[in-house]
Chain A
Amino acid sequence: MSAFFGKLMQSKKNQIILFIAYVVLAGAGLFLLPDSTIAFLMLLFSILILYHLNFNLRAKWISGIVILAIIMPFIASQSDSYQTYMEVGTLVGIYCAMALGLNIVVGFAGLLDLGFIAFFAVGAYSYAIFASEQASKFMPFGHYPLPGGSFWIFIIVGAAVAALFGILLGVPVLRVRGDYLAIVTLGFGEIIRILLNNMDHPINITNGSMGIASITPPNFFGISIGSSSQFYYIVFGIFLVVIYVVRKLENSKLGRSWKAVRDNEIAAQAMGIPLVKTKLAAFAIGASFSGMMGVVFAAKQMFVDATSFTYLESTMVLVMVILGGMGSVPGVILGAGVVIILRTQVLTNISNWLSSISADYGISIPPAISPEKMQLLIFGLLLIIFALYRTQGLIPHKNRKVNVEVLKKESAEAALAREKATSGGADS
């Protein structure tokens, strides 16, 4: 059977047909079944299948974007739980971008950061303060709340402010390494959260534990954006930008510097790589992704307070990176998807299912041991299993391979050109 299947998959045409069949099946499931979480997940899963097929890169990107931006939202829109699906999609996108940011810090540069959610908080608050009445409480000039159109500028502002905080954190912290660094970043994350919770006096900047409410929703050429299905597209757009940036950086001079620092600090320095600058760049760029998504988060929730940015959230982002595969971009995206869907869909559904069964049979399951409540236990177990059996994560990192034949040819051409140049020089 598996031999037959393997043979079937060898041909590219068969792959395309089977893949389309899969997408159609999942789409039809989502379309026809009333509460079709499984079909929805199957449709998302098609992206993972796509990743493993051997199409060329452009075809993969285009089909991935078509599925996520057109097919999935369209079919979901026919369902009653349209906004729920889009909400899940939005959350996955937000956390994907954050996990990709943390992946730069942890996976590329090898700096363990346990307080990463702080940058998300900074981004969220930077929009929340200025897009609500809050800013008028301490700003001597200007008229607040800012209009919804400012949201688009604030995506950049949020990224910049978070990057600045990344550098602020980095400067004192980068003198310590390894375990010590982890502890200091953990402290930093908590400091930011507690600051946000207490900065309501003497000057009321964050409104303290009351949080900031009635944040202006974004405005796109006169259309006020409020629903999850609209935010889905904003998040999707930012997510695509983030992936592009990460993929390009990974194989740039800076990306190589990060990996060199990760693999061997002393040798990296001996090759002329400035340690502090390189590490700060990792912190700043990683944080900026988080800051951007923070702005989106604030606009989407229309309310922020410090309880959204606890240590648990930092851990979750780290779990996404470790589960997916440190340093591996597709792995981290998958990790983020798996964790969010486990949290928001699977565990909730299992809980509901269990409670309905227990009601049918008259057995009472105490709510304390419902899977929903045991999130931390489940993620802990998952991590232990991964640490034991798959240390590299779901999709292990692979270095990009260069085409040796091309190099060989170009090297020969260059040698020929040099020879010509020297002989030409001798003649004249």
Chain B
Amino acid sequence: MNILEVKNLTKNFGGLTATSDITMNVEKNSITAVIGPNGAGKTTFFNMVTAVYKPTSGDILLNGKSLVGLKPHQVSQFGITRTFQNIRLFNEMTVLENVLVGMHQNLKSHWIGTLLQLPHIRKIEEAAKVEAYDILKYVGLEDYVNENAGNLAYGAQRRLEIGRAMAAKPKILLLDEPAAGMNPKETDRLTSLIHDLRTKLDVTIILIEHDMKLVMKISDYIYVLDHGELIASGKPDEIRTNKRVIEAYLGKGAVAND
């Protein structure tokens, strides 16, 4: 069953076409990768799915319902959460608070209840903290609970972003270059984390990634963009040998030499 359907999605910035006529079907509970050289329109695609950009034309359907025209926070409430290519944490808040903010849309504690110190609100807040701690343990940050997020090391920040996204209990998790800037050891750790996430959270994962080893290892299906257009799609093995993909990455002639 397809959880996310993207139909003929096009985005123009003035005269520049960032993505044109992209059509994708993402199966529920799959790990789908979107790859392509720099400037291929991958992040633009993510930004349209999360309503940061409004598509010029085309449609995005989550379980058959259109997401076009919603506000970013509404898309998030519908169950699509993302991480960012350039890490966007709440730097002046603690690691735990970052995860708590991720839980906000499922957290039923109104501020008036907090002011009145209603017992059930306190219970909710307390339970949320425990849950946030569990998430931090899961992404391996339980030793940094009270640290400001901005002070974490790079790899830890990436994992915190994933933890924060997990906390929102999304139906679809969009990961924008989760392994960027990581060393091989950190990447390995991340690979198993992502793989594990799908079963643990029962979530559909779409990721943008340049690390081909990671992509080939965990994706069920791959879409390849180049210059804003979809040039190929298929299972990892098909993509690995696809002529157009190799051309896009290595230039024409690369295939002939092989």
Chain A positions near chain B (C-beta within 8 angstroms): 245, 248-249, 252-257, 259-260, 262-264, 266-275, 281, 327, 399, 401-402, 404, 407-408, 410-411, 414-415
Within B108-165, the residues touching A (CB, 8 Å) are 109-111, 114-115, 117, 125-126, 129-130, 133-134, 137, 142, 145-146, 148, 164
| Across-interface contacts of B76 in A (CB, < 8 A) | 269-272
Q: Enumerate 16 A-B pairs (CB-CB under 8 Å) in ascending A order.
A: A249-B115, A252-B111, A255-B111, A256-B93, A256-B104, A257-B104, A263-B92, A266-B72, A266-B84, A267-B89, A270-B81, A270-B82, A271-B168, A274-B73, A399-B92, A411-B137
In the assembled complex, the Cα of A155 lies from the Cα of B127 at a distance in Å of 36
Q: Which residue of A lies closest to B90 (CB)?
A: A263
Check A272 against B168 for contact (C-beta < 8 Å).
yes
Within B67-124, the residues touching A (CB, 8 Å) are 71-73, 76-77, 81-82, 84, 88-94, 96-97, 100-102, 104-105, 107, 109-111, 114-115, 117
Check A269 against B93 for contact (C-beta < 8 Å).
no
Check A270 against B72 for contact (C-beta < 8 Å).
yes
Q: Is B50 among interface residues, defined by CB-CB distance under 8 A?
A: yes
Q: Which residue of B lies closest to A407 (CB)?
A: B133
Q: Which residue of B lies closest to A409 (CB)?
A: B130
Report the minimum CB–CB distance from A276 to chain B (whole Å): 9
Q: Looking at the complex, which one of A249, A262, A272, A402 makes contact with B104 (CB distance below 8 Å)?
A: A272
| Across-interface contacts of A248 in B (CB, < 8 A) | 114-115, 117
Q: Looking at the complex, which one of B77, B94, B117 makes contact with A399 (CB distance below 8 Å)?
A: B94
4 other A-B residue contacts (CB within 8 Å) besides A399-B97, A411-B133: A248-B115, A260-B93, A263-B89, A399-B93
Instruction: Kindly list the 4 A-B residue pairs having the minimum CB-CB distance in the complex, ordered from nearest.
Output: A272-B105, A272-B76, A267-B88, A263-B90
Check A253 against B110 for contact (C-beta < 8 Å).
yes
Q: Is B6 among interface residues, defined by CB-CB distance under 8 A?
A: no
Q: Which residue of A lies closest to B105 (CB)?
A: A272
| Across-interface contacts of B50 in A (CB, < 8 A) | 270
| Across-interface contacts of A252 in B (CB, < 8 A) | 109, 111, 114-115, 125
In the assembled complex, the Cα of A267 lies from the Cα of B125 at a distance in Å of 22
Q: Looking at the complex, which one of B89, B107, B133, B137 makes contact with A253 (CB distance below 8 Å)?
A: B107
| Across-interface contacts of B246 in A (CB, < 8 A) | none
Check A271 against B164 for contact (C-beta < 8 Å).
yes
Are A410 and B130 also in contact (CB < 8 A) when A272-B73, A272-B76, A272-B105 are?
Answer: yes
Report the minimum CB–CB distance from A308 to chain B (whole Å): 31
Q: Is B52 among interface residues, defined by CB-CB distance under 8 A?
A: yes
Check A253 against B92 for contact (C-beta < 8 Å).
no
In the assembled complex, the Cα of A404 lies from the Cα of B134 at a distance in Å of 12
Q: Looking at the complex, which one of B73, B88, B101, B146 makes contact with A401 (CB distance below 8 Å)?
A: B146
In the assembled complex, the Cα of A402 lies from the Cα of B100 at a distance in Å of 12
Chain B positions near chain A (C-beta within 8 angstroms): 50, 52, 71-73, 76-77, 81-82, 84, 88-94, 96-97, 100-102, 104-105, 107, 109-111, 114-115, 117, 125-126, 129-130, 133-134, 137, 142, 145-146, 148, 164, 168
Report the minimum CB–CB distance from B37 to chain A (whole Å): 25
Check A273 against B146 for contact (C-beta < 8 Å).
no
| Across-interface contacts of B91 in A (CB, < 8 A) | 263-264
Are A404 and B94 also in contact (CB < 8 A) when A248-B114, A272-B73 are?
Answer: no
Q: Looking at the complex, which one of A245, A249, A259 makes contact with B90 (CB distance below 8 Å)?
A: A259
Check A411 against B104 for contact (C-beta < 8 Å).
no
In the assembled complex, the Cα of A402 lies from the Cα of B132 at a distance in Å of 12
Q: Which residue of A lies closest to B126 (CB)?
A: A410
Check B114 against A269 for contact (C-beta < 8 Å).
no
| Across-interface contacts of A327 in B (CB, < 8 A) | 92
In the assembled complex, the Cα of A273 lies from the Cα of B81 at a distance in Å of 12
In the assembled complex, the Cα of A415 lies from the Cα of B138 at a distance in Å of 13
Are A266 and B96 also in contact (CB < 8 A) when A274-B73, A402-B129, A414-B130 are?
Answer: no
In the assembled complex, the Cα of A402 lies from the Cα of B107 at a distance in Å of 19
Check B94 against A268 for contact (C-beta < 8 Å).
no
| Across-interface contacts of B102 in A (CB, < 8 A) | 271
Check B88 against A264 for contact (C-beta < 8 Å).
yes
Check A274 against B111 for contact (C-beta < 8 Å).
no
Check B81 against A399 for contact (C-beta < 8 Å).
no
In the assembled complex, the Cα of A253 lies from the Cα of B105 at a distance in Å of 10
| Across-interface contacts of A407 in B (CB, < 8 A) | 129-130, 133, 145
Check B88 against A256 for contact (C-beta < 8 Å).
no
| Across-interface contacts of A249 in B (CB, < 8 A) | 111, 114-115
In the assembled complex, the Cα of A399 lies from the Cα of B145 at a distance in Å of 11
Report the minimum CB–CB distance from B216 to chain A (whole Å): 28
In the assembled complex, the Cα of A273 lies from the Cα of B97 at a distance in Å of 14
Q: Looking at the complex, which one of B90, B115, B133 makes contact with A267 (CB distance below 8 Å)?
A: B90
Report the minimum CB–CB distance from A20 to chain B (whole Å): 32
In the assembled complex, the Cα of A272 lies from the Cα of B126 at a distance in Å of 21
In the assembled complex, the Cα of A270 lies from the Cα of B71 at a distance in Å of 10
Report the minimum CB–CB distance from A66 to chain B (whole Å): 23
In the assembled complex, the Cα of A407 lies from the Cα of B137 at a distance in Å of 11
Report the minimum CB–CB distance from B121 to chain A (whole Å): 9
| Across-interface contacts of A401 in B (CB, < 8 A) | 94, 146
Are A262 and B92 also in contact (CB < 8 A) when A253-B107, A268-B101 are?
Answer: yes
Check A253 against B104 for contact (C-beta < 8 Å).
yes
Check A245 against B146 for contact (C-beta < 8 Å).
no
